[in-house]
Every structure is written in structure tokens, then in C-alpha cells.
A and B are shown apart, each in its own frame.
Chain A
């Protein structure tokens, strides 16, 4: 019988909605965990630890088309060195793209930014709200709708899970969630 390991690792992969879950020891390094999960040694993709909110540092900057400063995880470091603790899960995001180029349209304006793939939809909406200077209380109902589609990804989805295979870009319209009426 295998002894229970210290921690659960949630591995979010490019274009996939559900994370792959593996158990690991705190002293293991990232590349060994990825290899055990069947992801090679991480050579074909970049790996990010946790969820990125780096974009919010630039949200009030008037310049367009800036880039997140989020760094990739050093594969030789142990999970413990990267902040993992016994009993708490750790999320790893694996993506070919070091950044996802996002274009967001709101009315007659467009804003662009290069986000980390581990940025959630909710964080992108907050970035967009500040970038477009939207102060109305209805902003809690803001959603991202993928351009030329009716799909609105859930707030907790990460950009890396939404990109199509082979693409490092996304296009959204910023819309308001409407109440359902009969």
C-alpha cells in the first residue's frame, strides 16, 4: 500500500477545463512531479505556480499593450521552496505560451494586454473594469464573452485553459450579465 503523500498538486493544462490531480511530497521538485503526471520533464511548456494577479499592477496605467511580469516556476526547486505546505493544495499551470495576448472590446474601445496563462477570468474582468474606467455599481455583473461566440467562460477559469490549441491569443467582448425575464 502506498503511503499518503504530503500534498495534492492540481495541474492545469493548456485548453483543458479540468485540472489533473497528483499527490506529491513537499521535497519533490516540480519537474519530477510533472514527469510523474506524464508531462515529460516540462521542456515543451512553461510552468507557473498559483494564480497570477500581476496584471492588476498595470490596470491603472494609461499605456496599452503591456505585459505581465509573472515568472515561470524554476523546475528544479522543491514544492516546499515554492510555498507548498502540508495539507494545502498547490496549483501548477502548464502552457506552451509564456503569455496570452488578450484583446478586450467594450463599446467602441479596445484594450490589449499580455497576461500570464494562470490569470483567471475574474482577474481579467477586474483589470478591464479599471482599464476602461468603469465605476458603475453594475460592474459586478461584467462578464467576458469570447468574440464571435456566445460563450462566457466561468469566472474561475484560467486563460491558459481557454486558449485553443496552437494559439496564444484570445479576444473578448466585455458585456453585462442580464437578468433572465419571461
Chain B
């Protein structure tokens, strides 16, 4: 399933980004997702990915799992390898009461922020 979130208007950049999510065992477990090209369904290539500073640079990084998951506590692949996150980011820990909307709100917040600077 592909979902998209709007991004802030930047020169030579798309107005939205698409994500592919795996909802295995959702909502008990968090989904895992990645940026995709909506036309091919394939992982979004490097030259088209959102880039920037701080949190944007971290969440959409490609030097971890080749960009096949989001580096965010709401991504079940990411949380697996980070036992400290429930302590350092308790407000971002997935529970069965969370929904995909919580993750999309996070992603939209990043892509609407000044930390997102270009593709």
C-alpha cells in the first residue's frame, strides 16, 4: 500500500512524497516503511529523496538498511535495534493505540519543516 504526505514547496522539488508500508501484525506492532517512486513502486532513488538537516537527515537516511526502512521509533525495523529509544524518546514509542496517522503526522512534520531543504 502506498501513502503520501505533502511536502513544503521548494524549487525543483515535488509537492509530496510517497511511502510503501508493511502492516504485518498492525497495530500491535508498528508498520515499517520506505520512500517509493509511485510510478515504479520501487525504492525512491537517491537523487529524488528528501534531504536536509537534523531530523530529516536522520529519518530518511540511506546509509542505514539502504533506506529500506525509516530511521524513526515508529518504524518496527528501526526500533528493533535501538533499545535505548524507549528511554530517550518515550513519546515516540509505538503502542497498539497508535495508528498509521501518527506516523504520517510525524513524516509530514519533517517534510513541512525547514530541516527539509532539497531533494
Q: Chain A residue with minimal CB distance to B73? A: A180
Question: B14-22, B31-39, B41-49, B54-62: which lies at the A interface?
Answer: B54-62
On whether the beta carbons of B89 and A155 are closer than 8 Å, the reply is no
Give the distance to chain B from A124, nearest Cβ to Cβ, in Å: 16
Number of A residues whose C-beta is below 8 Å from B? Answer: 15
On whether the beta carbons of A177 and B55 are closer than 8 Å, the reply is yes
Q: Chain A residue with minimal CB distance to B55? A: A179
Q: Chain A residue with minimal CB distance to B81? A: A182
On whether the beta carbons of A140 and B92 are closer than 8 Å, the reply is no
Question: B91 is contacted by which of A140, A150, A156, A181 (Cβ under 8 Å)?
Answer: A150
Given A140-B113, A180-B73, A180-B85, A151 contacting B105 (CB threshold 8 A):
no
Q: Chain B residue with minimal CB distance to A156? A: B105
What's the interface size class on B, roughly? 20 to 34
Main secondary structure of the interface of A (DSSP, over half): loop
Q: What 10 A-B pairs are tightest by C-beta distance, nearest first?
A: A150-B90, A150-B91, A179-B55, A152-B91, A154-B105, A179-B54, A179-B58, A180-B58, A140-B113, A140-B114
B115 contact set on A, CB distance < 8 A: 140
**How far, in angstroms, from A145 to B1 measured CA to CA in the complex?**
32
Q: Residue A178 at the B interface, CB < 8 A?
A: yes
B73 contact set on A, CB distance < 8 A: 180
A154 contact set on B, CB distance < 8 A: 102, 105
Against B, the Cβ 8 Å flags (1 = close, 0 = not) of A141-174 are: 0000100001110111000000000000000000
A150 contact set on B, CB distance < 8 A: 90-91, 93
A181 contact set on B, CB distance < 8 A: 58, 88
On whether the beta carbons of A180 and B91 are closer than 8 Å, the reply is no
Question: B89 is contacted by which of A140, A151, A156, A178 (Cβ under 8 Å)?
Answer: A178
Question: B59 is contacted by which of A145, A156, A180 (Cβ under 8 Å)?
Answer: A180
